[in-house]
Structure 1
Amino acid sequence: MRRRSLLAATGAATLLPRGRPALAEEPADVALVLAVDVSRSIDEDEARLQRQGYRNALSDPKLVEVIRGGMIGSILIAYVEWAGSDYQRLVVPWTRIGSQEDANGWSEALNRAPRQSLSWTSISGGIDFSHKLLGELPVEAMRRVIDVSGDGVNNSGPPAEEARDRAVADGITINGLPILNDRPTFGRGPPVPLDTYYERSVIGGPGAFSIPAADFEAFESAVKRKLVREIAGLDLPRQG
C-alpha cells in the first residue's frame, strides 16, 4: 500500500525544477533524510559552508555515478533543518535523484531556499521529525536512513537517545556527521568530545557510522565520503 504523499502539504512544486515530478511510483535504493543543525551556534558563514557542502556533494558527478550504480539506480532525498525542540522544517521535500540533471536541480532548489538560525539544539527533535517523514514516505525504499549533522550536543527537548531508539526500532539507520567546531557552545557543554557523543547517543541501527568533520571548512569532504558510504550501502564496521 502506498503511503500518503507529503508533496502537496510542503509546497514541493515551488522548490523543484519546472516540469519535473518530484517522485515516480518505482522504489528507490535508499530514502535519505539530511537533518541539518541550524541552531545559533552556527553563524552565517558556517551555514553557507554547510549548505554549499551538501549542494556540491549531491551534484558531484562521481556521487551521481554511485547512485546510478545501485540496484535500482536512484535515491530519495529530503533536506530538513532543525534547532530547538520547537523548530524543525522541511526545506526541500522528497526528491528522486537518478541522474546528473536531477542532482543539479536538487542543488539549485537548496540554493534558493531561505534559511533561519534559532536557539538551542534538539537532536531528538530533528530525529523525531525525520522519523515521521520516513514513515510517510510515498514510495518504497530498500533502506531508510537519517543523516544527522551538527556542532553541539542535545540541549533541548528529550534526550537524543530516546528519539534514536524509536527510529532504530522502526528499522531506520541513523548516521552522524559531528562538526568539531572550536567556537563556544551555548547552554550545557558536551560531557565528552562531540564525536564520542555522536557515537554513544546519536547513531544507531544496521551499519550505523559517524564521520567527524574537523571544522566547517572540512565539511564538504566529510559529506562526500559519508554520502558515498550511505548510498552504496557499505556495511563497514561501526566506529568507536
Structure 2
Amino acid sequence: MYPNGFTQIIDDQVGAFVEVKGLGHQMEGGSRPTFFRGVATVVTKLFHVIQPDRAYFGQKDIQQAVILRRLVQDLLFAHPPSAERVRVLPTGRDPETKLALSSRNAYLTPAGRKVAPVLYKALSTGRSAWEDAKWSKGLSARERVEETLRLARLVVEEEEARCKAEGVVNLRLDYISLNHPHTLENLEAAIRAGQEVKVDEGAILSGAALVSEGEHGRVTRLIDNVLLGFQM
C-alpha cells in the first residue's frame, strides 16, 4: 500500500496518485489539507487488490465515505461496482456517554474522557435546533443554518470555559460546520458569500475538538457528526 521511500511531501512525490477534487478541502480537510488524497490513493489500491462486491465504512468518518463513493462513481470501478455498494454504517457509541467509539479514545485520560462527550452533545443540540418545527413556517434557510451552528458551538464554548476555570482538562473546538450531504459545500461559507443555500436535501453537521490534560499532555483529536434530514 505504501511504497518504500514514500514521502508525505506532495511536491516530492513521484508516481500515480488519486485525488477527488472539490470534496477534500472542507470539514476535516481544513485541518488536514492533503489527507484525502492519500485516502483515495490507498483505497483505490485496496479495491484493486481485494476486488470487493461491497465495502463498508463508518459514519464517523463521513467525509471519507462521501469521497470514496464519488471515487467509485466517477472512475467506473468494477469492484465495488457502484457507489451504492460503498456502505456506510452508523457510528458506534459508548452506551452511557454516547462518545463515538474510536481507537483514539485510548489516549484520553480519565478526566479527558469525562469531557470528550461534549462534542456529541453539541451536535445533538444542533440537530434539535435544525429539526425545530418552527422552520416549517417559512423562516429562511439562512436563519436555520445560523441558529443550528450557534447553538451547537455554544455547548462546546461553555464547556471550554468550565475546563479553563478548573484548570485540569484542556478543551479546544477545532470546528463545527454544516455541509451539503453530496457536494460537501460549506453552507455557512456560502451564506457569507451571498449565495442562496437550499436545505431541502438535508445537511451534515460535523465537528472536531481537541482534548488534553496538563501543560504537555497528549492531545487527542476527536471527530463526530450527525445526519440532518437524510440517510447515507
TM over 0.5, shorter chain: no
Larger fraction in helix: 2
Which structure is larger by alpha-carbon Rg, 1 or 2?
2
Higher RCO (C-alpha 8 Å, min separation 6): 1
Q: TM-score, normalised by structure 1?
A: 0.28
